[in-house]
Amino acid sequence: MAKKQAGKSKDSTVNDSGSGNETKKPAGSKEDGSIHSPVVAYASMLGLLSSCPPFVIFLWYTMVHLDGSASQFWDFCKQQGLQGFLRICPKPTLIAWELIASYAAFEAALQLLLPGERVIGPVSPAGNIPVYKANGVAAYFITLTTYIAIWWFGLFNPAIVYDHLGEIFSALIIGSFIFCIFLYIKGHVAPSSTDSGSSGDAIIDFYWGMELYPRIGKSFDIKVFTNCRFGMMSWAVLAVTYCIKQYEEYGRVADSMLVSSILMLVYVTKFFLWESGYWNTMDIAHDRAGFYICWGCLVWVPSVYTSPAMYLVRHPISLGLELSLGILIAGIVCIFINYDCDRQRQLFRKTNGNCLIWGRPPSKIEAWYETKSGEKKSNLLLTSGWWSVSRHFHYVPEILAAFFWTLPGLFNHFLPYFYVIFLTILLFDRAQRDDQRCRAKYGKYWDMYCKQVKYNIIPGVY
């Protein structure tokens, strides 16, 4: 990491999500901007550490073997108890480890070897400036092209991935836990930068992470790999996998699967087109590399985020042309609005406010704050375009897009909609965290901003 001494300066941002100018504090502390008490935050950490792994297995087993019916699983558990659940837990197999290792090695090689534009990230709390290589779009298209090509030419059948999905998820659960232990140890003994430290509690350090920007060597950024090149890329790879599996099972890909998968692929494509903007968000520039971020991206994303299409594999629902087009168009519009929100924020940052938003010069608030070293700095808070509608309006089309790529499964079962519900809770909590953090940072300037942009997420409601 390059080191830069911070002085009086202006860092252009929108609502400060992911500006990376705060020191990480234990969960639940006021300085961390937590909306929960320390006891509640600590209990939630323990709850997530213990419940997320079995939930992944429950979700897979119910989607693949119980028709997506949570009530069938409940009946099974009443009859079989804990022993029954343990019996259905798949053991990681050699083929599962081989598939994961091959995929991870391929994505790591693309991340390291593909050329890309040099991108400067936000200044960290300790004054470090992360430098990235923006080659995500190339890696994305090479990954999908290669995956489809090896199936088309008979070199590999992606249906094998679906057939061993439970074993793969079990291997990911175990392997990612081990990886998070490695990150915890690395943060103690070999941190990549001065943006590393301990809260004094091993569970908090394991859950939230020790390092903000962990790297292996000088070039391999761990969070870019876990969040973008493994997690988000696996979303697209599995969407294609589910289409191929359904084709092999039924000799066709149902319009419901096409609509759901196309919307997911459009969303993931949007993500990689915007990847350099993602490096300025809370995930990268504020949240450290621990269980919360890294295990979540390595396991939760490929299992939970893809679950609507996982359900559709064995449910080739026919929607008809009109309903299919209606859902597809509505979903694409939502994804575009979500993209345009991020585009406005990125443009505003890049030009330091010297740009046009919706055809007019943007309105903004110059917000001053004090760093931990006592230096005075300022950020620009955007109050134009989508960012005048609400402080986190971009979450609205993101939630709606998730609803539209789940909708092709119709309403026979509740479980396919778990991701939509989870995403809504996650984003509302994140909006609250961001609001609290920015209020603590900017004080009266954030109050001015909130008076001008009154609503947190849903205009006119909240």
pLDDT tens for each residue of 199-252: 889 999 999 999 999 999 988 999 999 999 999 999 999 999 999 999 999 999
Q: Return d(Cα 169, Cα 135) in angstroms, integer.
A: 27
Burial status of residue 316 (CB atoms within 10 A of its CB: 0-12, 13-18, 19 or more):
middle
pLDDT digits 0-9 by tens, 355-412: 999 999 999 999 998 877 778 888 899 999 999 999 999 999 999 999 999 999 999 9
pTM for the model stands at 0.89
DSSP codes joined into one string, 409-433: GTTS-SGGGHHHHHHHHHHHHHHHH
Q: Return d(Cα 51, Cα 42) in angstroms, integer.
A: 14
Residues in the chain: 462
Q: Return d(Cα 423, Cα 429) in angstroms, integer.
A: 10
Is the pLDDT at 424 greater than 80? The verdict is yes
pLDDT digits 0-9 by tens, 257-275: 999 999 999 999 999 999 9
Phi-psi region of 28 (alpha: psi -120 to 50; beta: other; left: phi over 0): left
Cβ atoms within 10 A of the Cβ of 294, count? 26
Provide the CA 187 distance to its chain's centre, in angstroms: 22
Is the pLDDT at 136 greater than 90? The verdict is yes
Domain residue extents for the chain? 2-452
Specify the range with the lowest mean pLDDT, choosing from 5-9, 175-179, 195-199: 5-9
Average pLDDT for residues 174-202, to the nearest whole number? 94
Q: Return d(Cα 224, Cα 433) in angstroms, integer.
A: 22
Smallest CA-to-CA distance from 227 within 164, 270, 290 is with 290
Cβ(357)–Cβ(406) below 8 Å: no
Q: Return d(Cα 58, Cα 376) in angstroms, integer.
A: 51
Which amino acid belongs to residue 233? M
CA angle in degrees (0–180, nearest 5) for 432-16-263: 75
